[in-house]
Structure 1
Amino acid sequence: MALRDQSLGCWKYFTFICFTLMATHTVIKSSFASGWNYDVILSYEEEEETGNNFASNLYALLERANIKVFKNDAEISKRGDQISPVLMKGINESRCAIILFSRNYASSTQCLEELSLIMECREKLGQKVFPVFLMGVEGSDVRRQKGSFGKPFGQHQECFEPEVLKRWRSALEIAGELRGWNLKDKHG
Structure 2
Amino acid sequence: MSPGTVRIISPVRHGDARGWLSEVWVEERWRDYGVDCRFVQDNHSYSAAQFTLRGLHFQTPDRAQAKLVRCVRGRIFDAVVDVRAGSPTFGQWVGAELSADNGKQLFVPEGFAHGFLTLEPDCEVLYKVSDTFAPAHDAGVRWDSAGIAWPLPPDVMPTVSDKDARLPVLADFDSPFTYGGGPLTLVQQD
The answer to which structure, 1 or 2, has the higher relative contact order (CA under 8 A, 6+ apart) is 2
Quick check: TM above 0.5?
no
More helix by share: 1
Normalising to structure 2: TM-score of the pair? Answer: 0.29
Give the structure with the larger strand fraction: 2
